[in-house]
Every structure is written in structure tokens, then in C-alpha cells.
Amino acid sequence: MAPIPNDVVFILAIVTVYLLVVLGVGQYAARQTGNSREDYLMASRSFGTLILLAALFATNMSAVTMIGAPALAYNIGPNALGFFVGLFPFLFSVLMMTSGYRIWLVGKKFGHITPGQVVNHRWNSKYLGLLVTGLFMFWTVPYLLVGVQGAGIVFEALTDGVIPYWAGGLTIVAIVFTYVYSGGMRGTGWTNAFQGAFFLVLLLAFATLIPLRLGGFEAATQASLQVNPDLVNRANIPTLQPKEYFSVGILVSLETFILPHLFMRYMTGNSVRELKQTAVVYPVAIVLSWVPAVLIGFWGVGQFPDIANTDFILPMLINETFPAWVVGLALAGILAAMMSTLDGQSLTLGTMFTEDILRPFTDITERREVLVTRGFILLLLVLAWVGSLLTRDSVINTTIFAFTGYALMFFPIVSAFYSERVTKYASGAGLLVGFFGHWAFELGVIPQTLTLGFLQVIPLLVVQLVVMIVVTAATPKPKEDRIEEYRELFDGTW
């Protein structure tokens, strides 16, 4: 066996120290976490503004930001910033201040934990929550793969293959499971605060240092334009037409708000004040992360004009530009972004499994529920790792597929907070139209020409709303006593 290069040893040493610190933070959180269902799954709804912001921000900054955004910018230039950010930071904040506030009120008033419990209670249903939970699980599994894929990619690239793709993914799965198992929601929230700050500082530093190492901002930009001058000419990039910008803005805003791991965290705030403060700061955090990620990918064009897999552009650029100790910090920062999403996703799916599938239909104790949740989290992470070995689709392609599925769950769920007339049958019909419509486009049953230049999510949202209106008109009005409960609860809110 060939000896491991000293540079790689140094890189692995730095990453090992970082991962031990993360485990230390998770273990400290675990000491504050009890065995009760409410404390393990929801941190007793005690998050202040800092932890809530970190929990929402970091859990959303996955491999999409650290791997997908630079890869997209490599292909389409700085336009990638508008392609994914666009309306998102601002519309998302509005949704947090309005619908997010109502979700917090519902959780506080009725003690709900999951989206399935919310819709079941609102519409006096026993099975609609099962449908919501099943669809959320279906769309989250591909999203889990993105995090494991990203970990494998950066480990392999930044250690020159000493840590292969499969081992990198397995390492992150093991670390995430360890602190989620012991700390639950509090463990993920506290580690997210640490990891979010860590990767954001590193990302901003690299966006400053990389062009300086390439001769300055102007030199780095000119090098990329010499390779592909069309990257700054939107007219020559047909994939970035106004209809698609609009489509992506709506898509990302709706799907991000309704993500199950964010939905549940809206209800963990100590008061609505924390939620409002988070909504104000969130757009700033998004811009601070996406701008440097996009610029780094754009500058990579001039250094690696013929890269085979654009998902590798960020680790390759860092590996070729900096000494080993900086590469070690970079690997740690990229892993921070991925772990802070994997932990929230896996805990959320484990919670939904026990809360929405087992708890309503079995006689399960709180202690056993926590144990089963932990076991389900382990199963999910193992399946995600195995899945990452079986598929190597680009991070962006996998993400867009899952994002569309999430976005098509927005109206059927959020209508519970704004319409007294919408029925559980209309919500269910909307969910099914969104799911099967998405697949019909993906499988070619419905031709892409019917999108009229938009992404398929836009016409599907329109059809979904029409179906919900028709079904609402054809079905009996929900019970007045439940409507009155929510009417009083939402009085004076947007």
C-alpha cells in the first residue's frame, strides 16, 4: 500500500479535529436534552433568535450551495445568482412573517409537531396527514442523497482519492447519526449554529482569497471570459429566459418554505418575536452565501475550462490554489453545509414516521417513540448512503426534481391557514394532482411544450389550484366548530 502524502495527512487531521468539535457541540446539547417526546423532537420549543436563524439557514444550505451553485455558475455564469436566488430571499421572508407565523400559532396552541398533524387537526381528518407524510418522505429521500453525494465528492477531490467517494459519504452519515441520535432537535439546532457560522465565514473568505491568488478580481474574471465570453451575455444563454427566472423564483420560494424540516422548525421558536427577527435577517444570510458560491464557480471556468463533472469545480479550485492547511479548512466548511442539512432532514423524517404513522395507530409510549425515531433515522441515513452509490446524477438535477415535488405541496397545505371553505378532499386532490402531474412531465406523458416556456411547476400549480377550487365547491364545508377555533386563533394576523 502506497504511503499517504503528507499534505493529505494534514488535511485529514484538520477535518478530524473539526468533526470532533461538531460531535462535542452535539454531545453538549445532548446533556441538556431529556427523553421526553417534546424535548427530543422539538427542543421544548425553546429556540431563541440566533439558534432559530441558524437552524433554518444552515439546514437549508446543503450541497446545493457548496457544490450545486458553483457547478451551475460554471455552466451559465453569474446569471446563476438570479437563477436560484431571484425572488427567493424576499418572498421567503414574507411567507415566514405570514404563513410561518400562523404555523407557529397552531403549533403553540395545539401542540402539533409535524405538518401531518397540522392538516389532520385543521380538517378533522385521520388519513390526510398520512398522505402529506408519505409525499414529504418521497421527496426528501432524493434530497438526502444530495448531501451524501456532496460529501463523497469533496472528500475524494480534496484528498486526491485517498478517501474515496463511498468512504467520504459513509463518514458524514456516521457523524450526523451520532449527534442526532443523542441530541435530537436541540442537537441539530446547536450544531447548525456552529456549522452555519463556520461555512459562511469560510465561503466569504474563499470568495476573497481565490481571485487574489489568481491575480486579482479583474484577472480572474477575464480568464473566465476568455474561455467563454457568453457567460455574461444572457441573450446567448437560452436556458435563462424571463419565464424560467420567474419559474425558478416561485419554485425555490414555495418549496423552501414548505420543506418539512423547516416547517417543523417554525414551531420551535420560543416566541413569535424570534420568528419575525429571523425573517428579517434571513435574506441577508442567503445573499452572503449564494453570491460567493456563484462567483467561485464562475472564476473556475478560467482555471479548468474542460472539467468533466462540474460538481467538482469548487473542491478542484481550492485544491489547486491553496496549501494543505487551507484545503483542510475548506473541506471542513463544505462538510459543515452538508451535515447541517442531513441532520435536519433525517430527524424530521424520523419524527414524521413515529408521530404520523405509528402514534395515531398504535399504543406507543413516549420513551419507545424516541427509540423508534432514532432507529428510523439510522435506516434513512444508511439508505441515503447506499442510494448515493447507485446514482451519480448532478446535485442540481437531483435538487430541482425534489424541489418541484415540494413546491407542489405548498397550496394544499397552506390553504389550511387561509381558507375556511377549502376541504380535506380538495387538499388531498391538490396533493395528488401535483404528484402525478410532476411525474407525467418527467416521464414524457405530458409534453414539455405545454409548459409555454415556464418550468413545469408553474402550469401544474395553476391546474392544482383549479382542481382544488372545483373539489371544494363539490364537497361539504368543514365543521364550524373547528373553523371557529382557527378563526379566533388567526384573528389579527396576516
CATH number for the domain harbouring residue 253: 1.20.1730.10
CB 433 within 8 A of CB 463: yes
Q: How many CB atoms are located within 10 Å of the residue 82 CB?
A: 17
Is there a domain that residue 418 lies in?
Answer: no
Task: Say if residues 83 and 245 touch (Cβ distance below 8 Å).
Answer: yes
Q: What is the pLDDT of residues 218-228, one digit of tens each?
A: 999 999 999 98
Q: Classify residue 417: in a domain, yes or no.
A: no
pLDDT over 60 at 339, yes or no: yes
**Residue 99: pLDDT above 90?**
yes
Q: Place 396 in a pLDDT band, splitting at 50, 70 and 90.
A: low
**Which range (67-71, 186-190, 348-352, 366-370) has the least confidence?**
67-71
The whole-chain average pLDDT of the chain stands at 88
pLDDT for the residue 438: 96
**Residue 120 lies in domain:** 6-406
Q: What is the mean pLDDT of residues 231-254?
A: 72
What pLDDT, on the 0 to 100 scale, is given for residue 392? 65
Share of the chain above pLDDT 90, in %: 47
Q: Do the domain assignments include residue 123? A: yes
| Closest to 440 measured CA to CA, from 470, 454, 460 | 460
pLDDT exceeds cutoff 70 at 6: yes
**Is residue 461 one of the residues assigned to a domain?**
no
**pLDDT at site 393:** 65
Across 152-181, average pLDDT = 91
pLDDT band, very low/low/confident/very high, at 72 (cuts 50, 70, 90): confident
| pLDDT for residue 459 | 96
Between CA 192 and CA 173 the distance in angstroms is: 16
In a domain, 116, yes or no: yes
Q: List the grid coordinates of 471.
A: 373539489
CA–CA gap between residue 126 and residue 134 (Å, rounded): 14
Q: Is the pLDDT of residue 239 over 60?
A: no
pLDDT on residue 303: 93
- Give 47's strand partners: 269
Say how far residue 232 (Cα) sits from the centre of its chain.
28
Write out the H or E segment, with its range, that includes residue 290.
helix 272-303
Checking if the pLDDT of 427 tops 80, the result is yes
Residues listed for the chain: 494
Q: Please state the φ and ψ torsions of residue 47, each to the nearest 5 degrees.
A: -65, 130
- Answer yes or no: is pLDDT of 168 > 70: yes
- Quick check: is 106 in a domain? yes
Report how many domains make up the chain: 1
The mean pLDDT of 401-410, rounded to a whole number, is 93
Q: 78: closest CA among 247, 214, 220?
A: 220
Could you report the per-residue pLDDT of 454-471, keeping only the tens digit for each? Answer: 999 999 999 999 999 999
What pLDDT, on a 0 to 100 scale, did the predictor assign at position 109? 93
How does pLDDT run across 120-145, given as a tens digit for each residue?
Answer: 999 999 899 999 999 999 999 887 88
pLDDT in the model for residue 275: 81
* pLDDT above 70 as % of the chain: 95
The dihedral formed by the CA atoms of 104, 109, 115 and 119, expressed in degrees to the nearest 10: -130
Q: What is the pLDDT of residue 33?
A: 79
Banded model confidence at residue 238, pLDDT cuts 50, 70, 90:
very low
With a threshold of 0.85, does the pTM exceed it? yes
Q: CA 130 to CA 299: how far, in whole Å?
A: 46
Residue 421 has pLDDT above 80, yes or no: yes
Residue-wise pLDDT for 278-329, tens only, equals: 888 888 888 888 889 999 999 999 999 988 888 889 888 988 888 988 889 8
Instruction: Look at residue 434 and tell me if it is in a domain.
Output: no
Residue 97 resides in a domain = yes
